[in-house]
A and B are shown apart, each in its own frame.
Chain A
């Protein structure tokens, strides 16, 4: 058993798995007592460094939180299997402590306080969404705890914190939106009017409005309409947009479940034009839900499963969690743990000031999943804390995802 996980909410499968692993270890120990004792001594000789994780493990965002937790778990297993991480002359075995942030500000704050004040953790990956991320950094920054968060809201990075310790883990629509929209204008010249559907909450507003502005800057006419989270029947909205003669639909930061249903219902309503999602990469889940209606769907994507390390990661994930759909949050959080570990190694210390400096200078780091990454964001957010990685615009052709344009940072 290479990592220990504190479970909140729904994800007790790991507990069962770990119990099974423990039983196997004990049985092996009884058979080969000497070997077991020696290896146990070796493990005890290492110190433990806890890494915190935050994500929704209950409610509608559970799939995102589980993916984040599993990505972190796999990363910690891989790092421990490679001998742990060494800093300041000590070797540390990593241990994951993951809490449910309920995908809410209140939940994010409570979970972050628990990690920081109760568990005394100095390194956190997550939360996944903007409401818990904004709340969590209000706890982590004053405590000088490094947080690699997600959350598309600009306020995650652009805030009044004088000396922040938080970074954002991957591209948001403010980074990838303008280049992709420019490409759409240059490549799909028949499209003049875009119908943009977005959830009517803080996240939906934070993502959809800047995206609509980006489309307008490129000369598109935009019709933006909001729906309540939990809506399953989008046909009235779709009909409304079709009556206004939109040439294409845009799903912005919608969840895969919503985007898949919208796509299915758009095709059932007889719309034959282009449908995009310049946001929220989850094309596998969308194909699963929309089925044949997903043909021709175009989307932002940032995982290239053909890259060598990505292939291995997918195999490891499937071996442990089955062959279901893999959320892009899984590799992103896997990558987050590796970023943190690399910064600790480079700092040669577990003091957060030193690790933060090392993290700030990590440009070019490449673990074989996203290519070399770099920090940007000074112009947009006032701080260079926005990680930028390669991304793609992909299209579903014959039920497969085909990358049609690659963008490099």
Chain B
């Protein structure tokens, strides 16, 4: 008990607490971004995209080559790489994904295969060592004794902007309305004139765009390798199970919960306690509320 209290005491230090909050926000921003596209594909097409992390990896490599090899400024390289990967991925949508729409269990196996192909395609193409994308800024912002790395701040701003743009797209555009309709009931949406094949393509493009953006930022903060996608995929799973499969507000809530849990519990009690708690909560949730915090139960 004394040990427990002494570990909690670390968080009473204002500098540490401030740093923990800053870190929690930055982690949450990344996790939300990773999970958004994943939950979108499930919500609309009922596809469990096991290859989601690999689109993040492709986004990171595109960003890496544009900044390192072509010396493009990151503000141009980031959108160019992300859009390029999302556009090129439409080929995979046509070749692979479209066969699995509304076929959840088949999609798991099929896309797990695609996941392996993309990882080891990456190994053959890029080798396995990890690479560094130059940080958007090496500077740090000092607020009292709290240190905020500028590159983390940029990630938070970009993630918030992407989340807002995505929300506006879903709520206030005809395509967004059609996506929501298709997510609720595909057949009814089709009888009302929604071109679901077109809507699926748009949803796929947006989901991969978000994954590639998440991967680019992930790669810049951490490192780039063909195995980059494994961790984001796991995080996306935890986030969407916490928040509710297919729920966009749920992804935001799940990302924030996971980010802050990791920061607070990890700092006070270590990484093992943080992982234990995160997965423990997921198991409890799956038992008592399998549709997640903000999800809706399947009929």
Interface residues of A (CB under 8 A from B): 9-13, 58-60, 62-63, 66, 200, 225-228, 230-233, 235-237, 239-240, 242-244, 256-257, 260-261, 268-270, 285, 288-292, 321-322, 324-325, 327
Chain B interface SS verdict (over half): helix
Chain A residue numbers with a CB within 8 Å of B218 are 232
A202 to B101, CA, bound (A): 42
Query: What distance in Å separates the Cβ of B138 from its nearest Cβ neighbour in chain A?
Result: 6
Asked if B5 CB lies within 8 Å of chain A CBs, one says no
Which stretch (B42-50, B76-84, B86-94, B259-267) binds chain A? Answer: B259-267
The 0/1 profile, CB within 8 Å of A marked 1, for residues 228-246 of chain B is 0011001000000000000
Contacting A at CB under 8 A, from B118-150, are 120, 123-124, 127-132, 134-135, 138, 140, 147, 149
Closest A residue to B122 by beta carbon equals A10
A324 to B222, CA, bound (A): 19
Query: Which one of B138, B231, B265, B267 lies within 8 Å of A239 (CB-CB)?
Result: B267
Query: What distance in Å separates the Cβ of B172 from its nearest Cβ neighbour in chain A?
Result: 34
Closest B residue to A286 by beta carbon equals B130
Query: What distance in Å separates the Cβ of A326 from its nearest Cβ neighbour in chain B?
Result: 9
Chain B residue numbers with a CB within 8 Å of A63 are 127-129
Query: Which one of A9, A59, A60, A227 lies within 8 Å of B272 (CB-CB)?
Result: A227
A288→B19 contact, CB < 8 A: no
Query: Which one of B13, B230, B266 lies within 8 Å of A237 (CB-CB)?
Result: B266
B124→A13 contact, CB < 8 A: yes
Chain A residue numbers with a CB within 8 Å of B227 are 59-60, 62
A-B contact list, 17 entries, CB within 8 Å: A10-B123, A12-B124, A200-B271, A226-B270, A236-B267, A236-B271, A237-B266, A237-B271, A240-B10, A243-B13, A260-B130, A268-B147, A268-B152, A291-B134, A324-B127, A324-B129, A327-B129
Asked if B293 CB lies within 8 Å of chain A CBs, one says no
Closest B residue to A58 by beta carbon equals B120
Query: What distance in Å separates the Cβ of B281 from its nearest Cβ neighbour in chain A?
Result: 16
Closest A residue to B149 by beta carbon equals A268
Chain A residue numbers with a CB within 8 Å of B149 are 268
Contacting A at CB under 8 A, from B191-249, are 218, 222-223, 225, 227, 230-231, 234
State the total of A-B contacts with C-beta under 8 angstroms. Answer: 116
Using a Cβ–Cβ cut-off of 8 Å, how many residues does chain B contribute to the interface with A? 43
A225→B140 contact, CB < 8 A: no
Closest A residue to B31 by beta carbon equals A233
A228→B267 contact, CB < 8 A: no
Asked if B256 CB lies within 8 Å of chain A CBs, one says no
Asked if B274 CB lies within 8 Å of chain A CBs, one says yes
Further contacts, 8 of them, CB under 8 A, given A240-B267, A260-B132: A10-B120, A200-B272, A228-B271, A235-B263, A236-B264, A237-B267, A237-B271, A289-B130
A292 to B149, CA, bound (A): 14
B10→A243 contact, CB < 8 A: yes
Q: A66-B128, A285-B129 are in contact. Are A226 and B19 (CB under 8 A)?
A: no
Chain A residue numbers with a CB within 8 Å of B274 are 236
Closest A residue to B135 by beta carbon equals A291
Contacting A at CB under 8 A, from B10-24, are 10, 13, 16, 19-20, 23
A232 to B128, CA, bound (A): 17
A230→B231 contact, CB < 8 A: yes
A4 to B171, CA, bound (A): 60
Asked if B156 CB lies within 8 Å of chain A CBs, one says no
Q: A13-B124, A239-B267 are in contact. Are A288 and B140 (CB under 8 A)?
A: no
Q: A239-B19, A285-B130 are in contact. Are A260 and B223 (CB under 8 A)?
A: yes
Chain A residue numbers with a CB within 8 Å of B223 are 257, 260-261, 289
Chain A residue numbers with a CB within 8 Å of B222 are 232-233, 261
Asked if B27 CB lies within 8 Å of chain A CBs, one says yes
B131→A289 contact, CB < 8 A: yes
Asked if B275 CB lies within 8 Å of chain A CBs, one says yes
Query: Which one of A200, A230, A270 lies within 8 Å of B230 (CB-CB)?
Result: A230
